[in-house]
Structure 1
Amino acid sequence: MGSNPQKSLLDVLRSQTAVDCDTFDVEVPKKLSPFVDCTSNQAIAYGELTRLGEDGNPVHAQLIQDAVNFASSKSSAYPGVSVAELAVETMMVKLALRIVPYLKGYSHIQTNPKYSYDKQKTIENGKRIVAIFKALDPEYDSRRVCIKIPSTWEGMQACRELESQGIATLATTMFCLEQASLAAHVGCTYIAPYINELRVHFDEGYVDQHKAFDFCGAAQRYYEKIGSKTQVLPASLTSIQEVMKLSGVHHITVAPHLLTQLAETPADPWDGEIGSVLKGGKEEVLGDYGSIVENESAWRLAFTRSQDGKSEGKIIQAINIFCDKQEGLEGLVK
């Protein structure tokens, strides 16, 4: 390699945005670090934990067994939580801890999607995930754990409580400003606008006809306008063109195959858009959501009506997919 290696698109992105890796595969940050945060969810966990090695055996068979043993030993401390559920949380934390040495920021773990409409169980789940980090690695600073929670009314009320206890939260599966305004109001550390509805990653050939670029740009401008601490962290991207359009957003989380493509693509010449999503919007009128963020029924109605119901339809779809993956993970345990 020469003394002046050519800049890649990943270099350009990192110069404008905090870049996070969206994976549980430790080889990705080993090869492409540094990253700020590492994000994950039940689908990513399931993909990693069912991965087979060259010998045809599960790569993480021992990790799964160790997680089951740990969960069995701790189950009496969590009445009402099954060993399988506890083992799933433990597996995700074990995978996350392997990646921590390559991060400057947070490790993100998503709560059980089956609690998407249960504030109290989501709060307990978030605290339990932090406790598992502490139990598995007493040296790890638990203030570097970020709990990902679906952006339902109940989920964001749980975020409010966890943030008040010093636990960082990310409101995920987000599609509209009604959700984004509530996330800022309750004090979330991050939101994750899904640029593409989750289905695109599981239904071959399916294309989201209503990508959330405009929402993502509007959310960041809205937060700057109201002076919110909440940061925008878009997710669910399908191409390096989509990633680069978002350059300049607070944070961005990128899947391994796209990170590799970004690292291998020279920035010069590159004729795609860079940062276009954040450039417009000077003429937009950002709404005032103050009347709904403390009124559950008003907020629910506004969310239901957002984009003629498309926003709510997309979160229902995402929760369904994540519930399927949660069941798949519990199946691995059993």
Structure 2
Amino acid sequence: MPSQLEDLRKASKISCDTLDVQVAKELGPFVDVTSNQAIAAGELARTAPDGTLIHEQLIRQSARDALAWLPSAVPGGDPVTFAVEIMMVRLSIQFAPYVTGFLHIQTNPYWAYSIKKTYRNARRIVDIFSRVDPTFDTKRVCVKIPGTFEGIGACHILENDDIPANRVATLATTLFCMEQAVLAANARCTYIAPYVNELKVHFEPGYVDQNKAFDFTRQAQHHYAETSARTQVLAASLTSTAEVLQLAGIHHITVSPPLLRGLSDSSLPSEHGKLGAYFAAEPESKFDRKAFDATYRGRESAYRILFTRSGHGSAEVKLNQAINIFCDKQDELEEVARRALEEAMAK
């Protein structure tokens, strides 16, 4: 009897939300591998039975790379943030043989409100892949960018370069409302990542999101189909196998290792009945695109108030919360990089 994971793969494209390459080896095949600062910090902190860091050599090599490449890659730049980017790329590139699609790296959350810094960060991430492995096809890189107005603005520049060969695939992440989803489609993002649960649920034990974004994911996918948008919906931030199964029929789902194992180990029917029934139904609410366009008209100030008002302010609160959490994890990564750089420079 097929497992729930096997059944799910017939309904949606499944990606792994991890930087532990053993997960892809054991539970694949997967389409993409997704990651962020929290996933990277957790992976770099993993230890072997003897207490040593599993990725100690990767961390040290990344520090050496940062010192060697900085003058040409980021003249006058910060070696600490550069080393963090290299560590994340080195973790991700291990998945290249085990996924068929994109390797996702998230930009620095501290730059979520700067188009210029986010754009440069994305370009640098692609360059690092080439430096780590000159044979790697960088068209397999998808840069995850927080779904602020500025972040989606950076996506637009990256996705629509006048020279097609220079275009970069992007995923607008931490999406909580249709206003963000429409802006991302206008930017021609490759993906959006609606967070079904606000990010806080993964860091505060016992906390439950009382307004899960299932209908938003369905609403976005239906709207994209109606408007022939190229953007695909990749649902993220799930807390149970039941939540994953409810999303059967969505374009893409990225799933954490514990939930992947739960789906792989179980062949019991979903308690939600027929797999895919939820997504086959119409959304509970329909987005008024005409009203959005009439108010927005390409104006930043108009978009900001539309976003602020969305869900009585809940979308903005959840986005700010996510950026704060990712900034905390960026701090952790930078501390790892700082120690490794100090060690490398002392030799």
Query: TM-score, normalization: structure 1?
Result: 0.96
After the TM superposition, which residues 296-311 of structure 1 pair with which residues of structure 2 at under 5 Å, given as runs?
A: 296-311=300-315
> Within 5 A, what are the aligned runs for 1:309-328?
309-328=313-332
For residue 272 of structure 1, what is the amino acid of its counterpart? H
Identity within the alignment, %: 50
The letter for the 2-side match of 1:37 is D
| Cα distance in 2 between the residues matched to 1:203 and 1:141 | 38
Instruction: Give the partner amino acid of 1:19.
Output: I
Map 1:137-286 to 2 at 5 A: 137-165=133-161, 166-267=167-268, 269-273=269-273, 274-281=275-282, 284-286=285-287
The answer to whether the Cα contact below 8 Å between 2:219 and 2:286 also exists between their aligned partners in 1 is no
1:144-194 Cα shifts (integer Å, max 9, x gaps) = 000000000000000001112310000000000000000000110000000
2:285 maps to 1:290? no
Cα distance change on mapping 1:270 and 1:154 into 2, 3 Å: closer
Indicate the residue corresponding to 2:2 in structure 1: 7
CA distance in 1, matches of 2:300, 2:118: 18
DSSP 3-state at the match of 1:169: strand
Distance 1:217 1:137, change over 3 A: same
Q: Judging changes above 3 Å, is the alpha-carbon distance between structure 1 residues 196 and 283 closer, same or farther for their aligned structure 2 residues?
A: closer
Q: How many residues align?
A: 328
CA change 1:34–1:109 in 2 (3 A) is same
Q: Match of 1:21, SS? A: strand
Tell me which of 94, 100, 106 is aligned to 1:104: 100
Which residue, 41, 50, 58 being the options, matches 1:46? 41
Counterparts of 2:249 and 2:214 in 1: how far apart (Å)?
13
Question: How far has the Cα of 1:272 moved from its partner?
Answer: 3.1
Corresponding residue number in structure 2 for 1:64:
59
C-alpha displacement at 1:275, in angstroms?
A: 2.5
Question: 1:293–1:324: structure 2 CA closer, same or farther, 3 Å change rule?
Answer: farther
**Is the contact made by 1:246 and 1:276 (CA closer than 8 Å) also made in structure 2?**
no
Structure 1 unaligned regions, length at least 5: 1-5
* Deviation larger for 139-148 or 76-85: 76-85
Structure 2, unpaired ranges of 5+ = 162-166, 339-347
Relative to structure 1, the CA distance from residue 318 to residue 179 in structure 2 (aligned partners, 3 Å threshold; closer, same or farther) is same
Q: Look up the SS of the partner of 2:90 in the other structure.
A: helix
Q: How far apart in 2 are the matches of 1:332 and 1:20? A: 27
- SS in structure 1 opposite 2:293? coil
Q: Does the aligned pair in 2 maintain the 1:24–1:96 contact within 8 Å?
A: yes
* Counterpart code for 1:119: I
Contact 2:70 2:82 in 1 (8 A): yes
Name the structure 2 match of 1:86.
Answer: 82
Cα separation, 1, equivalents of 2:133 and 2:337: 22
| Residue 331, structure 1, aligned to residue 335, structure 2 | yes
**Contact between 2:218 and 2:283, CA under 8 Å: does it hold in 1?**
no
Query: Counterparts of 2:9 and 2:309 in 1: how far apart (Å)?
Result: 37
Output the aligned Cα RMSD: 1.2
1:80, distance to aligned residue in structure 2 (A): 4.8
Cα distance change, pair 282–249 in 1 and its aligned pair in 2 (3 A): closer
Counterpart amino acid of residue 71 in structure 1? A
Partner SS, residue 104 of structure 1: coil
- 2 CA distance for matches of 1:123 and 1:296? 18
Give the aligned residue type for 2:139: R
Instruction: State whether residues 92 and 103 of structure 2, in contact with CA within 8 Å, keep that contact through their aligned partners in structure 1.
Output: yes
The structural deviation recorded for 1:283 is 7.0
Give me the whole-angstrom Cα distance separating, in 2, the residues matched to 1:305 and 1:280.
Answer: 27
- The 8 Å contact of residues 117 and 154 in structure 1, kept in 2 or not, is answered as yes
3-state SS of the aligned residue for 1:100?
Answer: coil
Matches of 1:71 and 1:190 in 2, distance apart?
A: 30
Deviation readout 1:110-169 (Å, 9 max, x if unpaired): 000000000000000000000000011111110000000000000000000111231000
Partner secondary structure for residue 207 of structure 1:
coil
Contact 2:178 2:287 in 1 (8 A): no
CA distance in 1, matches of 2:326, 2:21: 22
The TM-score with structure 2 as length reference comes to: 0.92
Match of 1:75 among 65, 70, 74: 70
Residue-by-residue CA offset, 1:270-289 (whole Å, 9 max, x unaligned):
43343244132267433113
